[in-house]
Amino acid sequence: MSAISSHLPLLVGSAVSRSRQGALILHNGRIHTMDAGSRVVDVLGITDDWIVYAGHDLGEAERRTIPGLSPPRRIGLKRRVAIPGLIDCHNHIVLMGNRPGYHTPLEHAFTVAEVLDTYRQRASTVPPGAFITTIGDFAPIKFLEGRLPTLSELDRVVPDHPVFISTGFSGPAATNSRGKAFFEGLTGNAAVVVAANGSIAAGIENGKALLALRQLLTFADRVRSARDAMAYAASVGVTMHLDQGGFPATNTPADGAANEDLFAMHLPFLSVYDSLSRQQHQSVPPLIRLRINHLHADGDASLPTLTNRLRYTYPFFGNAMVRTGGIGEFPVSVDHYAGGELFESAAARIARAGWRLEIEGFERVDAAVGMKSLRWVVAHVPRITAEHLRRLKALGGGVNVSGFLYLTAGEPGRNESAPAGPPFRGSVESGIPAGFGPDGPNIAPLSPWPHAYYATTGRNARGEVINPGQTIGRQKKVLGVLEVGRLGDVAVLSDDYFAVSDDEVKRLRSVLIVAAGVVVHDSGDPPH
């Protein structure tokens, strides 16, 4: 994948060498290379992380992979579609990996019955008495019934585990009888008001419940949750994540799903990568590539946390698996996000330090400091004019369009003939470097497939057209390319993305994931 440089390993150097267990050949597939010729091949050979063959000759693939340290492993794909491992250029997987309880994504549940079935299955893998949670990544509008499950419904399928299901940043939420007893049993002002049907109000009540669960977390819990987040990411085909950080935690009920300790939240993930480098003779755990952006929310002129980050943290430090990235999606507090003196001061410091920034306000910074070589990016881009795209392109910048409006039901009074955004088609046709990052899991799914549905149909979770005139075709290229000399990240899909119906796009998953030449996710279908 061309976005990954070949810097020497600096952080967890052995993690890359873990994949040197021999060569891998994928064959009998419909492998979309996404190269300049849009070739579809039958055979892909990978040795020591790198693609060494992409074509139709299995014998040639065998010869090319001989330099591996052991005979190549063959995996037959039974004519399934394979694509480059997907790159999500804007999400919050690190927040997801620090969730309390046993976080259970509901991104592939579209009815309350499917939610209940998901929880029933999850309960079979969770220790008795442990909380099963879903925090963010969905909204009730995506369910056919337009509501959260009730206490009695959850009791029926999860009688032996307390439950906490919370939407967006700060609720509302739902729980079952065991969860209700826990939350109401908290002492003093910490007690949470839970309605008879199990509902918990958005805001402070939801915040009190979330704070109580976070106070139960151990570091081992966070490491386990990080592994779960990695495993889920692999199951939906995303092998590279550019994480955009979180808001600073206050450790009060005012904190929502997006608040965390900004200087410790990455440690569980780094622990997973470190254990991978140490466990040389054990099986490879679920693994994704992680790039870390650092969010800052300073509100005073001294910019204390940003200044210390630039002073004491190395940009782009790490290796091909995990590396620090840039500053974003905020360099200052929300109050100063729209621009002004503090915003421009922060952006100028970032430019002088040679860091990459994902935000806005570039022209003045370029005039004062110069930033054309730093590959700065405007994030989210729910709306942007063609003129602003042209000006941004002239500065060497790019756009990172986010699909979080997939969970928008339609704003009252809004002109439904006008596009809600983002400008998928306008960005692509402008020729500006453009990436797609769904902004999961707080306010949108981490899975790329609901967002692919939104980008190609303009329809939100209810099936309503909210983004007319800005759809793109399914043939648009993803960033990764499967050709000789590129890294061997491959996603084998549960169905043919290029041929299934629009509604079926939302339900796609990966049945096999190869990252750095190693199988890190295998659903058992196809068998091999």
Name the amino acid, one letter, at 476: K
Alpha carbons 206 and 208: distance in angstroms, whole number? 5
Q: Which residue has the higher pLDDT, 241 or 3?
A: 241
As a whole number, mean pLDDT of residues 265-277 equals: 88
Query: Do residues 447 and 93 make contact, with C-beta atoms less than 8 angstroms apart?
Result: no
Alpha carbons 265 and 260: distance in angstroms, whole number? 6
Q: Which residue has the higher pLDDT, 369 or 134?
A: 134
Residue 477 pLDDT > 80: no
> Options 3.30.450.20, 3.40.50.150, 3.50.50.60, 3.10.310.70; which CATH number does 99-214 get?
3.10.310.70
Confidence label for 205 from pLDDT (cuts 50, 70 and 90):
very high
Within 8 A by CB and 6+ apart from 164, the residues are 101, 131, 132, 133, 134, 135, 173, 174, 175, 179, 209, 210, 213
Query: Do residues 509 and 108 make contact, with C-beta atoms less than 8 angstroms apart?
Result: yes
Alpha carbons 234 and 213: distance in angstroms, whole number? 26
Name the amino acid, one letter, at 343: F
* Residue for token pair 């990411």: 233
Within 8 A by CB and 6+ apart from 123, the residues are 132, 157, 158, 160, 161
What is the rounded average pLDDT for all residues in the chain? 87
Residue 267 pLDDT > 70: yes
Tally the C-alpha atoms within 13 A of residue 454's C-alpha that lie toward its C-beta: 31
The predicted structure's pLDDT at residue 528: 52
The predicted structure's pLDDT at residue 285: 52
As a whole number, mean pLDDT of residues 491-512 equals: 95
Considering 1-10, 44-53, 254-263, the range whose residues carry the highest mean pLDDT is 254-263
Query: Do residues 147 and 179 make contact, with C-beta atoms less than 8 angstroms apart?
Result: no
The predicted structure's pLDDT at residue 204: 97
The predicted structure's pLDDT at residue 314: 86
The predicted structure's pLDDT at residue 12: 34
Residue 3 pLDDT > 70: no
Alpha carbons 213 and 113: distance in angstroms, whole number? 26
Q: Could you write out the three-class secondary structure of 462-509?
A: CCCECCCCCCCCCCCCCCCCCCCCCECCEEEECCCCCCCCHHHHCCCC
As a whole number, mean pLDDT of residues 192-199 equals: 98
Residue 328 pLDDT > 50: yes
As a whole number, mean pLDDT of residues 491-497 equals: 96
Query: Do residues 12 and 323 make contact, with C-beta atoms less than 8 angstroms apart?
Result: no
Closest CA to 515 of 290, 217, 351: 290
Q: How far is CA 135 from the centre of its chain?
A: 14
Q: How large is the angle between the packed helices 341-352 and 304-312, nearest 10 degrees?
A: 10
Query: Do residues 234 and 283 make contact, with C-beta atoms less than 8 angstroms apart?
Result: no
Closest CA to 439 of 379, 359, 398: 379
Q: How far is CA 298 from the centre of its chain?
A: 25
What percent of the chain shows pLDDT beyond 90? Answer: 57
Could you please state the CATH topology (level 3) that the domain comprising 227-477 is classified under. Answer: TIM Barrel (3.20.20)
DSSP labels for 338-369?
Answer: T-SHHHHHHHHHHHHTT--BBSS-HHHHHHHT
Q: Which residue has the higher pLDDT, 36 or 126?
A: 126
The model's pLDDT over 272-323, given as tens digits with 9 standing for 90+, comes to 988 876 655 445 555 799 999 999 999 999 999 999 999 988 888 988 889 9
* Residue for token pair 């990235």: 325
Q: Where are the domains of the chain?
A: 99-214, 227-477
Min mean pLDDT across 12-16, 184-188, 216-220, 338-342 is at: 12-16
Min mean pLDDT across 24-28, 301-305, 380-384 is at: 380-384
Tally the C-alpha atoms within 13 A of residue 302's C-alpha that lie toward its C-beta: 3
Q: Which residue has the higher pLDDT, 253 or 282?
A: 253
* Residue for token pair 């979309």: 32
Min mean pLDDT across 229-233, 479-483, 494-498 is at: 479-483
The predicted structure's pLDDT at residue 9: 30
Query: Do residues 304 and 298 make contact, with C-beta atoms less than 8 angstroms apart?
Result: yes
Query: Do residues 329 and 245 make contact, with C-beta atoms less than 8 angstroms apart?
Result: yes
> What's 221's DSSP letter?
H
Q: Can you give the pTM of this predicted structure?
A: 0.89
